[in-house]
Amino acid sequence: MTVAQRPWWKDAVVYQIYPASFKDSNGDGIGDLNGIMSELDYIHSIGVDVIWICPMYDSPQVDMGYDIRDYEDVYAPYGTLQDMEKLIEETHSRGMRIILDLVVNHTSDQARATTTHLATFHIPSPGSVPINSKSLLTFCKANKSRSSKDNPKRDWYIWRPARYVNGERRPPNNWAGNFTGSAWQWEFVINFPNEEGDADKSTSPQTEEYYLHLFCPEQPDLNWENPETRRAIYKSAMEFWLERGVDGFRVDTVNMYSKGEMLDAPVTDPSSEWQFAGYEYCNGPRMTEFLGEMNEILEKYDAMSVGECPNTPDMKRVLQYVSAREKQLNMVFQFDVVDIGQGPYKFSTTPHNYILPQFKHAVATTQSLHSAPSDGWTTVFLENHDQSRSISRFTSDLPQHRVAGGKLLALMMCALSGTLFIYQGQELGMINFPQSWDMSEYKDVDSSNYYKMIGERTNYDAGALERAKTSLQHLARDHARVPMSWSTERYNGFSPADSEAEPWMRALPDAQECNAARQLSDKDSVLAFWKRMVRVRKEHKDLLIHGDYQDLDVDDLELFVFKKSWQGKRAVVVCNFNKEGKALEWKGVQGEGKMELLMSSVDEVVEGELKAFEGRIYLCG
């Protein structure tokens, strides 16, 4: 592909925004669309080409908006549909594009019938209203998927009968959900009231089957095998927004739509009845068909797609997803790098439980997706709304190291090939919240479920719970979801200083050292360095964005040295991941000619020596 033929999204820098935590414009303690609009110039000044908005759709917020009630409306605390249309317009007016999260593996269990009639799923649980209540009658009459086995909307979700073991009712298989526990929810019997509100005259019992939810019970999985369901998804969740000017989607759980035969997963955790099943429900037999249908729509709008692609260790399969010839996805997020150091459960680990060669191998795996003869593309990221902060994970968040660590990671990322993704606050060097915060500060359902599971399994052993909290302090998603630090004003400038409402999550205590206002005027800040590195990346885009990657010293435990090559041009990148200075050794660099320093993450470069957490890029001549 010639330079002139490159699609726009390949050279792009994408900035991810988590609406609840970005900026609160009206003082209710929750970030909103007007808050995002107020900082578009700040985002643009970094060198950003695309903003990615995490789910802003109408939602009960069981899983922070990834449980969508109405794809064609906006969560009221964030704003209105008109606010969203204005945000699209304001983004475009600055020469940037905008993409949204596309969450279509599942909906909320309160999913509303929209203009395209997505299935209504929810009914109240027994006891939530009196059984003879007219309101319950009205609600039940609107029910679709749950109401009966022969309802036209029944097949919009995934239902299965129970299986019986020694006469005891059990779920259809042994799959564990992503947030612990079984992936199946039993639907109890409830007698619907008749028109007069008399329950005993009802002739419509509940269906007594299980429904599948790979995430929370309030997030039932959609049945992609049903063509009517797929058509509704394309119309309501995709075309509705593409017609309003959205430039593409980050596609949530993109490889889970085709579930295959749904057989039992292998037993990898004998202490649990529920087993990891990611290799069973990901990458099923109809994924190519489903993604091909989605791509046909996206191509009509010249829209980009980046899929979240977990549980796919076979890189040949990943390449099928991102191959230009296959016409499925433009690129995917592989989790090789951010999964480094995790245990059998995501959180069951100790901090920094990995060695640098493992990190380098993970980087090499994702970089291989676009190297010749591949016709695929890749992504570069270390943070998102599902990850803790990269400085805390991969370098050091101690006061004497956090700035150097942030700059090192910025240099490394900007020198890797693929589309670059920056998560809000990453450009400031924001870090995990303190160990001193107790469990009440962890708001994420994933964190609370894990802590509860450890408690139940260990009879609430104090040592086990302390180890669980240590793991969460290192890896929990909550760390990325605290409010942005904009200034040293009250609430770190996230909410107006005179707001009566506290932010929905506690603001970080380190705003004196790390905030946007201060860094905007500091040429030595992490923010200033990110801006310089983005400019360097774009000035040398053939080499740094599109060049082939080669690891030059896989086994070194402290130095990460790699080469980039593109049509005779070459660069060598060296990154010191040591807390101490280190001699600069050119292992694996032979015949590269004169080495001209292009960029260093420190101001004063010492010949032959790297400072703690220093990174450099050399052009080879």
Could you tell me whether strands 13-17 and 419-423 are parallel, antiparallel, or unpaired per DSSP bridges? parallel
Q: What single letter denotes the amino acid at residue 408?
A: L
CA 176, CA 377: separation in Å to the nearest integer? 32
Residue 495 neighbours by CB under 8 Å, 6+ apart: 24, 27, 29, 483, 501, 503
Tokens at residue 54, please?
Answer: 């995490």
CA 484, CA 504: separation in Å to the nearest integer? 12
CA 185, CA 465: separation in Å to the nearest integer? 27
Contact 307, 99 (CB under 8 A): no
CA 364, CA 342: separation in Å to the nearest integer? 19
CA nearest 549: which of 325, 380, 410? Answer: 380
Contact 458, 467 (CB under 8 A): no
What is the SS3 assignment for 100?
A: strand
Instruction: Count CB-CB contacts under 10 A for residue 6.
Output: 14
CA nearest 531: which of 22, 43, 28? Answer: 43
Residues marked active site are found at 252, 308
Contact 602, 611 (CB under 8 A): yes
Contact 558, 582 (CB under 8 A): yes
Residue 152 neighbours by CB under 8 Å, 6+ apart: 144
Q: What single DSSP character describes residue 344?
A: S
User: Strand pairing partners for 305?
Assistant: 249
CA 506, CA 208: separation in Å to the nearest integer? 42
Residue 207 neighbours by CB under 8 Å, 6+ apart: 146, 147, 148, 149, 159, 187
Contact 504, 28 (CB under 8 A): no
Span between the terminal Cα atoms of the chain, in Å = 25
Q: Where are the alpha helices (DSSP H) in 436-565?
A: 445-457, 462-475, 516-520, 526-539, 541-544
Query: Largest alpha-carbon pair distance within the chain?
Result: 89
Beta strands per DSSP E along 3-105:
13-17, 50-53, 57-58, 70-74, 97-102
